[in-house]
Amino acid sequence: MIEIQELTKVYGQTTVVDRVSLTIGAGELCAIVGTSGSGKTTLMRMVNRLVEPTSGKVLIDGQDTREVPAYELRRRIGYAIQGHGLFPHRTVGQNIGTVPHLLGWDKARIANRVDELLSLFQLDPAQFRDRMPNELSGGQQQRVGVARALAAEPNILLMDEPFGALDPVIRAKAQDDLLAIQRRFNTTVVLVTHDMEEAIHLGSRIAVMDGGELLQYATPEEIIANPATDFVAELIGGDRPFRLLSLAKVSSLVEPGEAAGQPIAATASLREAYAECLWSGREALPVMDNGTLVGRINRADLARCAVRPS
Amino acid sequence: MSIGLVIRLLVLALLVAFLVSPESFAFLFEPLTKNNQPIIYNQGSLLDLTLNHLLIVAVATALATTVAVGLAILVTRPFGAEFLPLSRSLANVGQTFPPVAVLALAVPMLGFGTAPTLVALFLYGLLPIFENTLTGLTGLPPTVTEAARGMGMTGRQRLVRVELPLALPIILAGVRLSTVISLATATIGSTVAARTLGEVIIAGLLSSNTAFVLQGGLIVGALAVLIYDGLSAIERALTRRTGQGARANA
């Protein structure tokens, strides 16, 4: 659990982060959203003390982060950044093993962990372990960057626009990988992004920052239904019903029955199902789960889910 | 094997052959002499002079590298940042002094011989290495230094494991520049009685013996080209190994 209390950062005359308080529960994925200059990155960097707060404090599992040396604190917190920041003179394996090495793990344990993580990110260890970062594609570099952040099994992972440099197809894949890993290890993730779509897709809670202030901190449903200010509403944009639909899966709305045409996967989002209904001009779609038909999903029900919650 | 490498090996072979047995090349230099002047330098062994020349350059460059890299590391640390402008101007002063002036000033203090030459070469070698080390240490990709900090490396670990290895090709480029400048400048050391290849050139000038001048000049030139090329090759290999080909070409 991360408790941020009255955290403030002032550079000269400018207040970059202004008395922000928020609590991120264990195993949550908190997406901090804002435009550039909103203070979102500074807020995140104060968690592992890459930026020292002017006032206020951060507690991790109840312990004040100032009680330990900054470098020790950082070794306990995973850190992944935009453009991955891999060490160009170290192999993929050495890059991933950075923090375990700093922590003094023995060689065999580091090697095991590196192979485990490479496999987890669908990179064949034998093939990738000894490659140099510049021999990898952008998507592979990004995966190695996240693998490096997770190497010492941190409870907390900080990510600064980790998917910013990826093309849309690879980004979607990387986002789904992150969600899978976050659920598997129950890691607490703080993710900074300027993309509200990404925040809604990934975040279990969203913190909206503007001008150094925290405007709203709530679940995606709540943010979409009741944006605290006009600015938050503007960030969400005009297609709020579709954002709302993107939050739930087809499986939540399956009803018994049959329908004609191409089936849709139970794991697809309601937004995808609705789009398919509109596109193919059907009133209902058959739903397929692991290769078997489990029922159908109804266009009218989908439309009802897109209505502003009260 | 590329043509360039063949030519370099050939130059090296010729140089070594000439130093070991200069008399065998007498026929080449004969047309340059008049009035039965000696054809090959005869006031000492060319091989000894060359080795001594190289030794002086090596010592001066090693000292300059140690001091310049050390200074550059100090002024790029948080506690040394305020000395950055001062150290830059000091190194610049070293460069604006003509080497002859340094020699002239050093002789009254250190006497004639190798010592004033070493001082001049040392001061002359500082700036290229210092500037390049600064460039190397301050021009690292920000995401990489940021990642090193975020991973929990201490200042010392960042320096030794990330900053210096990545800056090494650029530092080496400074050492290469400094070495070549020193190779040429060391010849002037002979005016204050340092035993370098300048002796051969000066002896030739005094007796109007073009053959001597050419022998001294050719040896220094060949050494400079070979050492420059050798260090360039090491640099390229290091750049490739540190996976920053794009950065070095930029």
Closest by CA to B217, choosing from B230, B232, B204, is B204
The structural domains of chain A, ordered by start, are: 2-238 (3.40.50.300), 243-306 (3.10.580.10)
pLDDT in tens, chain B (250 residues): 688 889 989 999 999 999 988 888 888 888 887 777 888 888 888 999 999 999 999 999 999 999 999 999 999 888 888 888 888 787 777 677 787 888 888 888 888 888 889 988 998 888 899 999 998 998 899 999 999 999 999 999 999 999 999 999 999 999 999 999 999 889 988 888 888 999 899 988 988 888 899 999 999 999 999 999 999 999 998 888 776 654 443 3
User: Would you call A52 helix, strand, or coil by DSSP?
Assistant: coil
pLDDT at B1: 64
Q: What is the pTM of this model?
A: 0.81
First to last CA, chain A: 30
First to last CA, chain B: 27
Q: Do B152 and A132 make contact, defined as CB atoms within 8 angstroms?
A: no
Q: How far is A100 from chain B (nearest CA, A)?
A: 10
Q: Do A85 and B162 make contact, defined as CB atoms within 8 angstroms?
A: no
Residues of chain B numbered 117-176 and touching chain A (CB < 8 Å): 141, 143-144, 146-154, 157, 162, 165-166
Q: How far is A157 from chain B (nearest CA, A)?
A: 11
| Chain B residues with CB-CB distance to A75 below 8 A | 151-152
Structural domain spans, chain B: 47-242
Residues B182/B183/B185/B187 CA torsion (nearest 10 deg): 150
* Inter-axis angle of helices B114-138 and B84-96, nearest 10: 140
Closest Cα in chain A to B240: A89
Residue B238 to residue B231: CA distance in whole angstroms: 11
**What averages of pLDDT result for each successive group of 10 residues across chain A (310 residues)?**
94 93 94 92 94 94 93 94 88 95 94 94 92 91 92 93 85 89 92 91 93 93 88 84 84 85 88 89 88 87 82
Q: Do A50 and B151 make contact, defined as CB atoms within 8 angstroms?
A: no
What are the C-alpha distances in Å from B236 to residues B86, B188, B227, B229? 32, 32, 14, 11
pLDDT at A5: 94
pLDDT at B244: 64
Q: Do B150 and A81 make contact, defined as CB atoms within 8 angstroms?
A: yes
Q: Do A79 and B150 make contact, defined as CB atoms within 8 angstroms?
A: yes
pLDDT at A288: 87
Which CATH class name applies to B47-242? mainly alpha
| Chain A residues with CB-CB distance to B165 below 8 A | 89
The complex's ipTM? Answer: 0.81
